[in-house]
Amino acid sequence: MSKINFKNSQNISVQKKPTGSNTQGANSELTNKALRTVSAFAPAAPVLLAQNYSSKSAFKKMQEVAKNLSEEEIKLLNDGVDKILKNKNLLDFIEIKNITAKTNLAAHAQPPLTIQNLQQVQQGVNAFFNGSNAVIVNREAAPNLIFHELGHGHNNKFSNFSRKMLRFYPQSQVTPFIVAFSSLLLNEEKPKEGAELTKFQKVKNVFRKMLPFLAAATSLPMLIEEHMATSKANKWAKEVLSDNLSKKVAKGYKYGFMTYLLVPISAFLISFLGMKYKDFLASEKNNNTKQNQNNKVLNA
Ligand SMILES: [Zn+2]
């Protein structure tokens, strides 16, 4: 009994499509497409959560390096920073803004730096280069972070390439995600029935497949600039600090770089997994339609 009913209901649903109006079919295809697009955004949530978690862990590890510095090490680090400032003539073009527990933050909050950024500096958990001529650091709580910011300042002054990277830096934190989420709006091109994919459709599909890589690649200005600043910082730290202390400095930067690296990884996964899921749903639907058509033939 139930089997017959099932068959009948399938039969009805199959007949609906070919005999129903074209508009209805087109509408339901449109709805399916829209649903698949919404579903493609689903993998983004766990990816972003994982990125957030990993980023926080790496950031915490970076903070621990500064927190575990002894009084003596803090003094040695500041002496080292002073030597680099002098030996590389950095004070000719870089201003050091020392933000400590007593600093009035409101007086220093100037774009691109927010009060929140300055609070991080005050707590000794971060340091910044303002993109032109100042490094915003905490010499009392996190002098280990200063070498890297000086590296940005030096790059900005002497490297045309680095200046270009710095110009695109703010965008390259956002564009990976813009490209990744935009890629989820596109559908894989399918050939019309009985026909093959046109050249244009093939190109479109190849381009679509490359979007996860493109999303990740747009973070390159940020990654390259960060890597260049860190390489310089590690080289300078080795010049003026003991082996042990320069290794501690490098360790903090390693964790710092990880937080940047998570951006392209996350964008790649959002795009790649989202599109894969969307294509999977489209193929499922295709199979169902084919199944229905076969049933229709059998039932006719
Ligand atoms: Zn940096």
Q: What tokens does 66 get? A: 């500064």
Banded pLDDT at 4 (limits 50, 70, 90): very low
Which residues is 98 bridged to in the sheet?
137
How does the average pLDDT of the chain come out, rounded? Answer: 88
Distance 241 CA to ligand 1 centre (A): 20
pLDDT at 238 over 80: yes
What distance in angstroms lies between residue 72's CA and the mean position of ligand 1's atoms? Answer: 26
Alpha-carbon Rg for the chain in angstroms? 28
77 C-alpha to ligand 1 centroid (Å): 18
Segment 93-115 shows an average pLDDT of 89
Residue 19 CA to ligand 1 center (angstroms) comes to 64
Confidence label for 164 from pLDDT (cuts 50, 70 and 90): confident
What is the CA(229)–ligand 1 centre distance, in A? 6
CA of 158 to the centre of ligand 1 (A): 16
Strand partners, 258: none
Residue 215: pLDDT band with limits 50, 70, 90: very high
| Structure tokens given for 100 | 């400590």
Q: Among 22-36, 163-177, 217-231, whose mean pLDDT is lowest?
A: 22-36
- Three-state DSSP class for residue 105: helix
Q: In the predicted model, is pLDDT for residue 285 greater than 70?
A: no
| CA 228 to centroid of ligand 1, rounded, Å | 9
pLDDT of residue 228 exceeding 70, the answer is yes
Cα(48) to centroid of ligand 1, in Å? Answer: 22
pLDDT band at 291, cuts 50/70/90?
A: low
Of residues 180 and 22, more confidence is placed in 180
Q: For residues 239 and 87, what is the distance between their CA atoms, to the nearest angstrom?
A: 11
Q: Quick one: pLDDT at residue 284?
A: 75
- The pLDDT of residue 296 is 53
| Strands ordered across the beta sheet of 95-98 | 95-98, 134-137, 128-129
Q: For residue 134, what pLDDT is reported?
A: 94
Determine contact, residues 237/246, Cβ cutoff 8 Å. yes
Between the CA of 252 and the centroid of ligand 1 the distance, in Å, is 12
Alpha-carbon dihedral sign for residues 162, 157, 261, 113? negative
For the residues 220-247, what does the mean pLDDT come to?
96
Ligand 1 midpoint to CA 226 (Å): 5
* HEC assignment per residue over 62-100: HHHHHHCCCHHHHHHHHHHHHHHHHHCCHHHCCEEEECC
pLDDT band at 276 (very low <50, low <70, confident <90, very high): very high
CA dist 16 and 18 (Å) reads 6
- Whole-prediction pTM: 0.82
Q: In which element (H, E) is residue 128 found? A: strand 128-129
Higher pLDDT, 4 or 202: 202
Q: What's the pLDDT score for residue 219?
A: 96
- pLDDT above 60: residue 8: no
293-298, long-range: CB < 8 A, 24+ apart = 293/14, 295/10, 295/11, 295/14, 296/11, 296/14, 296/15, 296/18
- As a whole number of angstroms, the distance between CA 165 and CA 25 comes to 50
The number of C-alpha atoms within 13 Å of 85 and in the hemisphere containing its C-beta is 16
Judged against a pLDDT cut of 80, whether residue 3 lies above it is answered with no
253 Cα: distance to centroid of ligand 1 (angstroms)? 9
Neighbour-count burial for 177-197, b at 16+ CB within 10 Å, e otherwise: bebbbebbebbeeeeeeeeee
Residue 55: both structure tokens together: 């980023």
Q: How far is the CA of 215 from the centre of ligand 1 (A)?
A: 21
Q: Which residue did the predictor score with more confidence, 162 or 274?
A: 274
At residue 17, does pLDDT exceed 50?
Answer: no
Token digits of residue 224: 């390259």
